[in-house]
């Protein structure tokens, strides 16, 4: 049986449609599951989950679980160590929303460069009173990409079309990938020093939490624009605000925040004229939403019915699994 713990997730209708068409037996857990939800799902071998935290306690309530499918990319809310100990394989869906996130990264980059927040707010008064803040050209500038995976590569193609040169830091990307998008490989320190725009495209891990912190901002020489459509934990929010005040950073375009979803803790950042913020929607389009829901369902069905093991994030669990 399959359990789906994403009662309020936008991809749920596509997941349910695919499972229904396949004649699958499944249960949907409430956003805040009651004991009855877990009792109903206790026999499930596969769990499809959105952004809900899969803790040690949750795993204990699903004793027959063999595969956990994260409908999305980030797995920071999943206790992977406990899942591995229990022989539960963890996989995620990574091949959706690539073009959407790349488009949104470019959108935020342009919005920050063109001081969109400031100029839109000028509509609250007479246009004759509008003042012209410094606005620079992106053409001829350098875009530094932290991460050159599918999304980073797609962003590289877009900024190249704007006439920007591209440098990138990604120790795991092969040389051919840099060549394919005409990007020069640099160290992170070089990227911080040489970039006019810095765009983040890496997952959140304990090692790179607050990758852009006070020390990193202090290394920036060109007062760059910061773009983050990856994970909020990559940027130290108070340090970013200080960098904006000090002129170390000229603007920011953010789709994710370290404090989300409780963004009340960063009200001062949201009020700034040199910052553009969207509510974690870079991934979203109708097509991406449906692709995500359908792919998660396909992975679950192939495992449950045919024993097809997907690419897993904790291969150690395969050795201790029950199949």
**Given 169, 280, 289, 294, the catalytic residue:** 280
Written as six digits, the tokens of 87 are 């022989």
* 260 flagged as catalytic: yes
Q: Is 280 a catalytic residue?
A: yes
Q: Which of 231, 289, 294, 304 is catalytic?
A: 231
CA 94 – CA 299 distance, rounded (Å) = 12
Whole-angstrom distance, CA of residue 79 vs CA of residue 64 = 17
> How far, CA to CA in Å, does 232 sit from each of 52, 121, 187, 229, 258?
17, 25, 22, 8, 4
**Would you call 86 a catalytic residue per the annotation?**
no
Catalytic pick from 259, 260, 302, 316? 260
Active site residues: 231, 260, 280
């Amino acid at each position: 049986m399959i359990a789906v713990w994403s009662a309020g997730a936008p991809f749920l209708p596509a997941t349910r449609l695919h499972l229904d068409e396949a004649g699958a037996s499944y249960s949907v857990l409430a956003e805040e599951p009651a004991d009855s939800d877990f009792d109903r799902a206790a026999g499930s071998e596969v769990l499809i989950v959105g952004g809900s935290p899969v803790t040690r306690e949750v795993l204990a309530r699903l004793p027959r679980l063999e595969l956990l499918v994260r409908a999305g990319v980030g797995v920071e809310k999943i206790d992977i160590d406990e899942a591995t100990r229990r022989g539960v394989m963890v996989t995620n869906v990574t091949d959706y929303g690539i073009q959407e996130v790349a488009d949104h990264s470019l959108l935020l980059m342009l919005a920050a460069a063109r001081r969109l927040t400031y100029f839109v707010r000028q509509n609250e008064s007479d246009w004759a009173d509008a003042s012209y803040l410094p606005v620079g050209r992106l053409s001829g500038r350098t875009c530094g990409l932290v991460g050159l995976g599918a999304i980073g590569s797609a962003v590289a193609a877009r900024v190249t079309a704007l006439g920007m040169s591209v440098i990138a830091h990604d120790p795991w990307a092969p040389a051919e990938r840099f060549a394919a998008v005409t990007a020069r490989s640099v160290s992170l320190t070089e990227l911080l020093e040489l970039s006019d725009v810095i765009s983040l495209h890496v997952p959140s891990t304990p090692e790179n939490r607050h990758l852009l912190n006070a020390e990193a901002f202090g290394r920036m020489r060109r007062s760059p624009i910061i773009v983050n459509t990856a994970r909020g934990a990559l940027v130290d929010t108070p340090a970013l605000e200080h960098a904006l005040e000090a002129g170390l950073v000229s603007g920011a375009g953010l789709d994710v925040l370290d404090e989300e979803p409780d963004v009340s803790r960063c009200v001062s950042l949201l009020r700034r004229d040199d910052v553009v913020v969207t509510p974690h929607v870079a991934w979203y389009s109708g097509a991406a939403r449906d692709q995500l829901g359908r792919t998660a369902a396909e992975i679950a069905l192939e495992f449950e019915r045919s024993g097809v093991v997907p690419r897993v994030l904790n291969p150690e669990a395969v050795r201790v699994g029950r199949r």
